[in-house]
Structure 1
């Protein structure tokens, strides 16, 4: 199901970026744009880390922020992209559906999830917590890949625009990786 997984080290000061290109998984549409993991983006932890993420995301137009963990079941959003910034602990997540890749996320990492890409938490440790947000504060729907959702979700995912800015790196971020 995974089409490719690449680690890219940009020539500027940005950290290494893990790029996950995910093919449709029958029940899960996924997206032609890849999921991105930015490693070690920030050093603050706990409340200071959460505040840093909330401010950085909001400064780049990703709002409606929340603090929590990640659901332990496959889910995705057909109407918006999502960003998750880990500010405490660590977790093993799975992307793209039942046969998708497993990704370790730890405090200091940021995961950018395109609309349609399933994600779930497999396990966590050390009080894993994230700040989540959405471009332009969009209100996310909740999809789980039900057969009855398939036709409408695929059409909805295709209509979600690429955000004006990357949640961490601003105007120069996402357009390097997304079309």
Structure 2
């Protein structure tokens, strides 16, 4: 089981909706014999109604983006790496929007989180994120599972994921059943953030199922907002 849960309140910015619901980080998930058991992660997500759609190894850069119509779970299969949460890129130069000056090359604020194997993030719709690895020689992310990162291209996705040899900063991502991710960047929903915040909560947490996780941190928050 995860050893602890860490929450991040990611406030809206001028360009990014983020969410009234907290970003959740579960530490030390799916660790067996000193490494992440990807098959166990795949099975747990599926049991709880979340479908794994991609495994990706990250490079030096990624555009900051968010998913406006679905929540997401990402688990770090190997690391270390870095994720910047909650802010939009302001410069088209990948070197600058990743490693440049806050307030000029990307929005200031947000949260930089250094991650390693076993870190699992449950991400509310609208929360901006970009994942990168300053230590790799590869510039761009590489999806290891095909399907344009919307599905795992294999007759047996479970076996395929379990047999992948991963290195560097690699994560697996999954989404509630019947949902698939859409890509939006800063500014796309200015003036209509509420449509992103209103995305329905999943029935089960991708890791804890019907106890813990979103059942505590999201459902109670949603009830509190309805009663205001």
In the superposition, the TM-score normalised over structure 2's length comes to: 0.66
Separation in 2 of the partners of 1:91 and 1:34?
21
Higher strand proportion (structure 1 or 2): 1
Residue correspondences, number: 165
Match of 1:10 in 2: none
Per-residue CA distance 1:111-165 (angstroms, 9 max, x = gap) = 111000000124255511111001124111100013x53234x133122111111
Match of 1:40 in 2: 28
Q: Please tell me the root mean square deviation across aligned C-alpha atoms, in Å.
A: 2.3
CA-CA distance at 1:45 after TM superposition: 8.1
CA-CA distance at 1:14 after TM superposition: 4.5
For structure 1, list consecutive stretches of 5 or more residues without a partner in the other structure.
1-12
Equivalent residues of 1:34, 1:177 under 8 A apart: yes
Match of 2:84 in 1: 94
Larger radius of gyration: 2
* Pairing partner for 1:175 from 215, 219, 222: 215
Per-residue CA distance 1:75-94 (angstroms, 9 max, x = gap) = 00010000001111221111
Following TM superposition, where does structure 1 have runs of at least 4 consecutive aligned residues deviating by more than 6 angstroms?
Answer: 45-48
For structure 2, list consecutive stretches of 5 or more residues without a partner in the other structure.
88-106, 136-166, 223-228
Match of 2:177 in 1: 136
Equivalent residues of 2:26, 2:119 under 8 A apart: yes
Equivalent residues of 1:44, 1:87 under 8 A apart: no
